[in-house]
Structure 1
Amino acid sequence: MRIKNIIVLLIVLFSFSTYAQDMAEYTSGWESKIENSKVFNLKVEIENLGLEKARFKISNNKNIIDFHFNSKSTLILEIPFAENYSFKGHLSKNGNEINGFIKSGMLLYHLKLKRSTNNIYTGIWNLLMIDEMKSRDFYLSVENGKGNDYQAYPIFGDNRFTGTWCDNFLKENDLISFTDFKTGLQFKGKLMTDKIQLGIYLGKYKITQVTLKKSTNDWQIGGLKSDNNTSIIELSEMERLILKDSLPSTHAVLISKKGKVVYENYFDGYNPNIPHDMKSASKSISSAIVGIARDKSLFNSVEQSIFDFLPKKYQTHKDSLKSKIDIQSLLTMSSGLDADDYTRERNSSASENNYQPTRDWTETVLKAEMINQPNTEANYGSANSYLLGIAMDSVVSEPLELFMDKYLFQELEISNYIIQTDLKGIPYFGGGMYLTPRDMLKFGELYLNKGKWKEKRILSKKWVKDSFKNYYNLENVPDKNGYGYLWWRNTYKVNGKDIETVEARGAGGQYIFVIPCLKTVVVITSGNYRNRKTQQPELIFEKYILPYLKK
């Protein structure tokens, strides 16, 4: 009887210690190292395509997923290989490759799977966007711990990965879990006396595991070196200032003149193979997709009301004023909706900060107040381009991302890219595509060449001409820039002479400069998100690049 009582007491004590873990004790910085530098560079294979027992496989240094599916129909492959994860793609006409997307979190990762001699289609999924981690350091910031409540944010020493957006923080006994809703990664940890065992998963499938110990030193993040200079022209003064951090967080500078790359350089560990977050610079790509759809007569006119493209549930928002919101007003930021992203002082009802936290972005945007008659005054706001994505999704006969890939990216020979989506998995036209700087340069050259790439017409000459027109000046931006179809306009001075440009621009300093008079395209990518230097590329362009281009 005494032994039985002791056992019961031990069970109670064990249970109490397990249930009594307070997250306040774990509120700290934790650190470890990822097992190897390529653990997130996942090999993707499709075997036995066209047969009932086809296989979709994902692996790194070990097998992670082996999913069996029926692939008798190869018109569009749809493979739900794990809960909340899927692959969707097209088999090429010659059968040599599959172009498609892995949907993971809020991202669509484009993959090109090439057929090998043994009839297996193979490609690489760079889950963290980078081709290999230059730093294997892994950190975890556990914050605001109290009882079972906490937040936890994973941080990688290689900061070329743009970071996680974590949520859904759960705790049960000594187990914690949370999700990065951007990449779709799941984190599952076990709390121990002086460490945390943390697994990183795709759904229920483990990619890798780390054992974290409390940090005792400052975290080492970034500070990576690049050696990727390919140049015909010399920009030594610009390079000197970038390397001494006087032009901080500049990641890449590329220049093409008359279709030939004359300068290409990377900094802070970046290289030609890493897709960069374009932020709102990808709005100009969204404009190109609208143009392609118009060129294919998938809709009648840019003067069509947005309500022609919206499901019945949203028609209740149609009134005499909002019915005048047409495609052109959305392209030119002149919808009249209170959608201001730029002026921090005004909490606009349909700004990104207001509609993105809601469950139905379209509903929130359409409920916003009207501050102007459509097509009369322009105010920069991402809600305008977001609605364009919803409209284009309604007119194409296939998933919008596959349409974009087939008619734009494949035509430009672009395959290493990522598309951010909205909550419904539709490509987000408000910004957030990831392209390599070289591919951004290609896109700029498409517009410089009036819609042609390598002598092949991709966009109509008329659409490019209409896109570059100055419709309105943006009233809510400091410089009151002229604006076209999701393209900015600007004027620079060199030796007293005005040089006009048309630009794709994104937060943090993501720029594509198209300079028709010089037959030149310049791409600059940066990481200036919180230091008020988001327009630094304009300084670099005017002071350190344009004088050389004019020589």
Structure 2
Amino acid sequence: MRFQNSVLFFFLLFILSVNAQQMEEYAHPWEGKLENSKTFHFTVTIENLGFEDATFKISNDHSIINYPFKKANITQINIPFAENLFFEGTIAPNGKEINGFIKSGLLLYHLKLTKRKNNSFVGIWNVLMVDELKSQKFFLSIENGSDNDYQAYPIFGDNRFTGTWCTNFQKENNKITFNDFKTGLQFKGTLLTNEIQLEIFLGNHLITQVNLIKSTTDWKIGGFSTNNKKSKLSLVEMENLISKDSLPNTHSVLISRNGKLIYENYFDGYDANVPHDMRSSSKSISSAIVGIAQDQSLFKSVEQSIFDFLPAKYQIQKDRIKEKINIQSLLTMSSGLDAIDYGINANPKSPAVEDNYQMANDWTAAVLSAPMINNPNTKANYGSANPYLLGIAMDSLISEPLELFMDQNLFQKLAISNYIIQTDLNGDPYFGGGMYLTPKDMLKFGELYLNKGKWNSKRIISEKWIESSFKNYRVLENTKDKNGYGYLWWHNIYQSNGKSIESIEARGAGGQYIFVVPSLKTVVIITSGNYRNGKTQQPETIFETYILPYLEN
């Protein structure tokens, strides 16, 4: 009896100690190491397609998901392989590949699965955007710990992955859970004395486990060298400044002239295979999708009101001024809505500012409820709510998922397969920005516009749409340089050897630029990581100071 009482005593003591764990005890930086640099490099396989034993598989160095399914549609596939995760795709007419997307979190990861034997198709999914981590270090910052409350932020030692957006922090006894709503990864931790055992899941399927201890030194993240090509061109000074961090966080520079790649270099560990966060420079891709839709007569005119495309529940927002918001006004940032969200000129109280409407449960209702500050098609003010509404309009026109339309009508035709689309809360492509393309694929897109809608001599977008897109409609009132603006394309003028050179540009926060220079028959790509240091326009300096003189000589 005494022995039983002792056992019971120590058991209760253990339970009390577990329940007594308070999150302030764990509010520290933690670190560990992933076992494998390719842990998040997944092989995706569809086996025995068309047969009763068809299976959808995801694996790395071990099997993660093995999901049996039946395909009902002859050409389209939809596989809900885990909770809140699915694959959708279309089989090519020749039956040799499947192009589709894995929807995980806020991202649509494009996959091209190629046919192998036994009617099986195989492709690659890099959930962290890179095929192999350059650092296996893993960090966890637990913050604001109090009782059972906390926030936790996983950080990978390889900063080419753009980071997690974690939420839904829960604690029960010595267990913590949270998820990254960007990638869809799930995290489950066990709190031990001076240690956290953290498991990472895809749905309910374990990917890996990492043991974390308290950090005693500052974290080292990134700083990877690249075996960049030493240029024989007159761009050596630019390369030296990038290597010395005088042109900080420059990730890639590519130049094509007359359709030929004449310069290509990568820095900070980046390479040709890493899709880069384009931020708002993908707004110009959104413009292309609108053009393709009009070319296919899916809508009549850019003069149509946005309310022609919206469900009945939003018609209550229509009044005599707002009903004049048309497709063209959204393409030119001239809706008149108080949607300004560029830099210090943003209105922090407007429901249509990006940081505000993205916190709402219904983004469309939030944007449309914003007050009007101008009549439509009179003055331009940069704001992501304008192209967001374009995405809603395009989605209303297309019977298939919008991402499949984009893939079939633009990306496949440009031979682009390694890319990612960010979505809105409904899981639809977000036209306000946030796609991930490799710099070489960004170059292809720029050349499509330089060649007036043709790629490899094949028409993809009408020449009329390209001309309309590149027209300078009006000045962006809320920008420092008062740039001209087209259909989601910026205008700028540079000086070189006493001459003015006009460039038409896709631009994204942090320094993501596609320069299209018709007078020089040139496209330039610069990608960067200057998100918080005030150097987001650094590519303009690089372009004017180093690239234009080379092109002029």
TM-score by length of structure 1 reads 0.99
Q: Is the contact between residue 273 and residue 438 of structure 2 (CA under 8 Å) also seen in structure 1?
A: yes
Q: Aligned-pair distance for 1:344? A: 2.4
Task: Summarize deviations over 1:91-146 as a string: whole Å, max 9, x none.
Answer: 00000000000000000000000001332100010010012101111000011111
Instruction: Select 2:510's aligned residue among 499, 508, 511.
Output: 508
Task: Summarize deviations over 1:27-47 as a string: whole Å, max 9, x none.
Answer: 101111111111100000001
Q: Secondary structure at the match of 1:118?
A: helix
Task: Summarize deviations over 1:3-26 as a string: whole Å, max 9, x none.
Answer: 444343323212211110011110
Cα distance in 2 for partners of 1:290, 1:232 equals 41
Report what 2:381 is aligned to: 379
Task: Summarize deviations over 1:184-239 as a string: whole Å, max 9, x none.
Answer: 00000100001000001001101111000111111110010111428563410000
Indicate the percent of aligned positions where both proteins have the same amino acid.
Answer: 68
Report what 2:439 is aligned to: 437
1:189-338 to 2 correspondences below 5 Å: 189-229=189-229, 233-338=233-338
Task: Summarize deviations over 1:375-425 as a string: whole Å, max 9, x none.
Answer: 000000000000000000010121000000000000000000000000000
Q: Give 1:521's aligned amino acid.
A: V
1:68 equivalent in alignment to 2:59: no
Report what 1:15 is aligned to: 15
1:395-474 to 2 correspondences below 5 Å: 395-474=397-476
1:363 equivalent in alignment to 2:358: no
Structure 2: gaps (5+ residues): none
Instruction: Select 2:539's aligned residue among 522, 537, 540.
Output: 537
1:34 equivalent in alignment to 2:34: yes
Cα distance in 2 for partners of 1:203, 1:401 equals 22
Q: Aligned-pair distance for 1:496? A: 1.3
Cα distance in 1 for partners of 2:110, 2:231 equals 30
Q: Aligned-pair distance for 1:53? A: 2.6
Q: Following TM superposition, where does structure 1 have runs of at least 4 consecutive aligned residues deviating by more than 6 angstroms?
A: none
Q: Aligned-pair distance for 1:149? A: 0.5
Structure 1: gaps (5+ residues): none
Q: Is the contact between residue 277 and residue 433 of structure 1 (CA under 8 Å) also seen in structure 2?
A: yes
Q: Aligned-pair distance for 1:180? A: 0.4
Q: Give 1:463's aligned amino acid.
A: W
Q: Is the contact between residue 421 and residue 436 of structure 2 (CA under 8 Å) also seen in structure 1?
A: yes
Q: Secondary structure at the match of 2:395?
A: helix
Q: Secondary structure at the match of 2:117?
A: coil
Cα distance in 1 for partners of 2:392, 2:230 equals 40
Cα distance in 1 for partners of 2:422, 2:243 equals 31
Q: Is the contact between residue 232 and residue 263 of structure 1 (CA under 8 Å) also seen in structure 2?
A: no
Q: Give 2:220's aligned amino acid.
A: Q
Report what 1:87 is aligned to: 87
Cα distance in 2 for partners of 1:38, 1:269 equals 16
Q: Secondary structure at the match of 2:403?
A: helix
Q: Give 2:354's aligned amino acid.
A: E
Q: Secondary structure at the match of 2:290?
A: helix
Cα distance in 2 for partners of 1:80, 1:289 equals 27
Q: Aligned-pair distance for 1:349? A: 2.8
Report what 2:528 is aligned to: 526
Q: Aligned-pair distance for 1:51? A: 2.0
Q: Give 1:434's aligned amino acid.
A: Y
Cα distance in 2 for partners of 1:170, 1:219 equals 26
Task: Summarize deviations over 1:491-528 as a string: whole Å, max 9, x none.
Answer: 00001110001000000000000000000000000000
Cα distance in 2 for partners of 1:7, 1:233 equals 78
TM-score by length of structure 2 reads 0.98
Q: Give 1:427's aligned amino acid.
A: P
Q: Give 2:453's aligned amino acid.
A: G
1:6 equivalent in alignment to 2:12: no
Q: Give 2:366's aligned amino acid.
A: T
Cα distance in 1 for partners of 2:127, 2:234 equals 35
What is the aligned residue count? 551
Q: Is the contact between residue 450 and residue 516 of structure 2 (CA under 8 Å) also seen in structure 1?
A: yes
Q: What CA RMSD, in Å, does the superposition of the two structures yield over aligned residues?
A: 1.0
Q: Secondary structure at the match of 2:118?
A: coil
Task: Summarize deviations over 1:315-336 as a string: whole Å, max 9, x none.
Answer: 1101111100000000000000
Q: Is the contact between residue 231 and residue 262 of structure 1 (CA under 8 Å) also seen in structure 2?
A: no
Q: Give 1:247's aligned amino acid.
A: L
Report what 1:483 is aligned to: 485
Cα distance in 2 for partners of 1:257, 1:231 equals 16
Cα distance in 1 for partners of 2:50, 2:231 equals 47
Task: Summarize deviations over 1:160-201 as a string: whole Å, max 9, x none.
Answer: 000000000000000001000000000001000010000010
Cα distance in 2 for partners of 1:204, 1:316 equals 42
